[in-house]
Amino acid sequence: MTHDPKNAEPVLLVGSMAFDDLSLPTGEFPSVIGGSATYAAMAVSLFAPAQIVAVVGEDFPEETLEALRQRGVDTRGVERAQGKTFRWAGRYAQNLASRETLDTQLNVFADFRPKLLPEHCEARWLFLGNIHPALQLQVLSQCGTARFVAADTMNFWIEGERKLVEEVLSKIDTLTINDEELRQLAGEYNIRKAAARVLTMGPKRLVVKRGEYGAMLFDEAGVFYAPAYPLEVEVDPTGAGDSFAGALFGYLAKAGRVDPTTLRQGLLTASVVASFNVEGVGHAALSSLTPARVTARLEELRRLVQVE
Amino acid sequence: MTHDPKNAEPVLLVGSMAFDDLSLPTGEFPSVIGGSATYAAMAVSLFAPAQIVAVVGEDFPEETLEALRQRGVDTRGVERAQGKTFRWAGRYAQNLASRETLDTQLNVFADFRPKLLPEHCEARWLFLGNIHPALQLQVLSQCGTARFVAADTMNFWIEGERKLVEEVLSKIDTLTINDEELRQLAGEYNIRKAAARVLTMGPKRLVVKRGEYGAMLFDEAGVFYAPAYPLEVEVDPTGAGDSFAGALFGYLAKAGRVDPTTLRQGLLTASVVASFNVEGVGHAALSSLTPARVTARLEELRRLVQVE
Give tens-digit pLDDT for B158-195.
Answer: 999 999 999 999 999 999 999 999 999 999 999 999 99
DSSP state of A137: H
CB-closest option in B189, B192, B308 to A230: B192
**Under an 8 A CB cutoff, do B189 and A95 touch?**
yes
Residues with Cβ within 8 Å of B79's Cβ and at least 6 positions away in sequence, in order, are: B54, B55, B56, B115
Q: Exposure of A194 by Cβ count < 10 A (0-12 exposed, 13-18 middle, 19+ buried)?
A: buried
| Res A122: pLDDT | 84
Per-residue pLDDT reduced to its tens digit, A98-118: 999 999 999 999 999 998 999
**Residue A304, pLDDT above cutoff 90:** yes
Cβ atoms of B90 and B101 within 8 Å: the answer is: yes
Mean pLDDT of A182-203: 96
At A1, the pLDDT band (50, 70, 90 cuts) reads: very low
**Residue A233, pLDDT above cutoff 50:** yes
Distance, CA of B150 to CA of B13 (rounded, Å): 10
| Distance between B200 CA and the closest CA of chain A, angstroms | 17
| Distance between A222 CA and the closest CA of chain B, angstroms | 8
**Under an 8 A CB cutoff, do B307 and A264 touch?**
yes
Chain A hits for B261, CB-CB cut-off 8 Å, are: 307-308
Task: Give domain status of residue A18, yes or no.
Answer: yes
| Res A221: pLDDT | 86
**Under an 8 A CB cutoff, do B265 and A189 touch?**
no
Provide ipTM, 2 decimals: 0.88
| Res B2: pLDDT | 42
Whether A234 has its CB under 8 Å from any CB of chain B: the answer is yes
Q: Exposure of B232 by Cβ count < 10 A (0-12 exposed, 13-18 middle, 19+ buried)?
A: exposed
Domain range for residue B197?
A: 5-304
Q: What angle, 0 to 180 degrees and rounded to 10, lies between the N-to-C axes of helices B179-186 and B191-199?
A: 60
Task: Compute the count of residue pairs across chains A and B with CB atoms less than 8 Å apart.
Answer: 67
Strand, coil or helix: A174: strand
Q: What is the CA radius of gyration of chain B?
A: 18
Per-residue pLDDT reduced to its tens digit, A157-179: 999 999 999 999 999 999 999 99
Nearest residue to A175 (alpha-carbon basis) of A197, A152, A193, A154: A152
Cβ atoms of A189 and A154 within 8 Å: the answer is: no
**Under an 8 A CB cutoff, do B264 and A306 touch?**
yes
CB-closest option in A234, A264, A305 to B190: A234
| Res A119: pLDDT | 87
Residue A214: which CATH number?
A: 3.40.1190.20
| Res B1: pLDDT | 43
| Distance between A250 CA and the closest CA of chain B, angstroms | 18
Per-residue pLDDT reduced to its tens digit, A265-302: 999 999 999 999 999 999 999 999 999 999 999 999 99
Whether B264 has its CB under 8 Å from any CB of chain A: the answer is yes
| Res B230: pLDDT | 95
CB-closest option in A224, A231, A307 to B264: A307
| Res B99: pLDDT | 93
| CA terminus-to-terminus distance, chain A | 25
Ramachandran region of residue A31, left (φ > 0), alpha (ψ -120 to 50) or beta? left
Distance, CA of A190 to CA of A192 (rounded, Å): 6
Query: Which of A:82-121 have CB within 8 Å of B?
Result: 94-95
DSSP state of A90: E
**Under an 8 A CB cutoff, do B307 and A95 touch?**
no
Per-residue pLDDT reduced to its tens digit, B19-28: 999 999 999 9
**Under an 8 A CB cutoff, do A232 and B264 touch?**
no
pTM of this prediction? 0.93
| HEC letters along chain B | CCCCHHHCCCEEEECCCEEEEEEECCEEEEEEEECHHHHHHHHHCCCCCEEEEEEECCCCCHHHHHHHHHCCEEEEEEEECCCCCCEEEEEECCCCCCEEEEEEECHHHHHCCCCCCHHHHHCCEEEECCCCHHHHHHHHHHCCCCCEEEEECCHHHHHHCHHHHHHHHCCCCEEEEEHHHHHHHHCCCCHHHHHHHHHCCCCCEEEEECHHHCEEEEECCEEEEECCCCCCCCCCCCCHHHHHHHHHHHHHHHHCCCCHHHHHHHHHHHHHHHHHHHCCCCCHHHHCCCHHHHHHHHHHHHHHCCCC
**Under an 8 A CB cutoff, do B222 and A303 touch?**
yes
CA distances from A85 to A33, A104, A174, A306, B89 (A): 10, 11, 29, 45, 54
Cβ atoms of A129 and A14 within 8 Å: the answer is: yes
| Distance between A267 CA and the closest CA of chain B, angstroms | 10
Cβ atoms of B236 and B221 within 8 Å: the answer is: no
CB-closest option in A94, A305, A307 to B265: A307
Distance, CA of A30 to CA of A50 (rounded, Å): 27
* Bridge pairing between strands B99-105 and B87-92: antiparallel
Whether A156 has its CB under 8 Å from any CB of chain B: the answer is no
Cβ atoms of B254 and B49 within 8 Å: the answer is: no
Chain A hits for B192, CB-CB cut-off 8 Å, are: 230-232
Whether B279 has its CB under 8 Å from any CB of chain A: the answer is no
What phi and psi values does residue A224 have, to the nearest 5 degrees? -130, 145
Whether A191 has its CB under 8 Å from any CB of chain B: the answer is yes
**Under an 8 A CB cutoff, do A261 and B95 touch?**
no
A24 or B221, greater pLDDT:
A24
Task: Give domain status of residue A2, yes or no.
Answer: no
| Distance between A72 CA and the closest CA of chain B, angstroms | 29
Distance, CA of B217 to CA of B238 (rounded, Å): 22
Cβ atoms of A39 and A246 within 8 Å: the answer is: yes
Cβ atoms of A108 and A57 within 8 Å: the answer is: yes
Average pLDDT, rounded, for chain A: 94
**Under an 8 A CB cutoff, do B192 and A225 touch?**
no
Distance, CA of B33 to CA of B282 (rounded, Å): 7
| Distance between A277 CA and the closest CA of chain B, angstroms | 16
DSSP state of A175: E
> pLDDT 10s per residue in chain B (308 long)?
444 677 889 999 999 999 999 999 999 999 999 999 999 999 999 999 999 999 999 999 999 999 999 999 999 999 999 999 999 999 999 989 899 999 999 999 999 999 899 989 888 999 999 999 999 999 999 887 788 999 999 999 999 999 999 999 999 999 999 999 999 999 999 999 999 999 999 999 999 999 989 999 999 889 999 999 999 999 999 999 999 999 999 999 999 999 999 999 999 999 999 999 999 999 999 999 999 999 999 999 999 999 98
* Bridge pairing between strands B18-24 and A205-209: unpaired
Distance, CA of B141 to CA of B261 (rounded, Å): 30
Q: What angle, 0 to 180 degrees and rounded to 10, lies between the N-to-C axes of helices B260-278 and B240-255?
A: 140
Per-residue pLDDT reduced to its tens digit, A116-147: 999 898 889 999 999 999 999 999 998 877 88
Our measurement of the distance from residue B81's CA atom to the centroid of its chain's CA atoms, rounded to an integer in Å, reads 23
In single-letter form, the type of residue at position A99 comes to R
CB-closest option in A95, A190, A224 to B304: A224
| Res A308: pLDDT | 83
Distance, CA of B282 to CA of B265 (rounded, Å): 26
Ramachandran region of residue A83, left (φ > 0), alpha (ψ -120 to 50) or beta? left
Of all residues in chain A, the percent with pLDDT exceeding 70 is 98
Chain B hits for A265, CB-CB cut-off 8 Å, are: 307
Whether A187 has its CB under 8 Å from any CB of chain B: the answer is no
State which residue of chain A sits closest to B263, comparing Cα positions: A307
Task: Give domain status of residue A36, yes or no.
Answer: yes
Q: What is the CA radius of gyration of chain A?
A: 18
Task: Give domain status of residue A3, yes or no.
Answer: no
Cβ atoms of A245 and A40 within 8 Å: the answer is: yes
Distance, CA of B278 to CA of B270 (rounded, Å): 13
**Under an 8 A CB cutoff, do A230 and B216 touch?**
yes
**Residue A2, pLDDT above cutoff 60:** no
Whether A304 has its CB under 8 Å from any CB of chain B: the answer is yes
Strand, coil or helix: A54: strand
The C-alpha angle with vertex A134 and arms to A256 and A237, in degrees rounded to 5, equals 60
State which residue of chain A sits closest to B233, comparing Cα positions: A190
Mean pLDDT of A70-77: 96
In chain B, how many domains are there?
Answer: 1
State which residue of chain B sits closest to A268, comparing Cα positions: B307
Q: How many CB atoms lie within 10 A of CB A215?
A: 26
| Distance between A224 CA and the closest CA of chain B, angstroms | 5
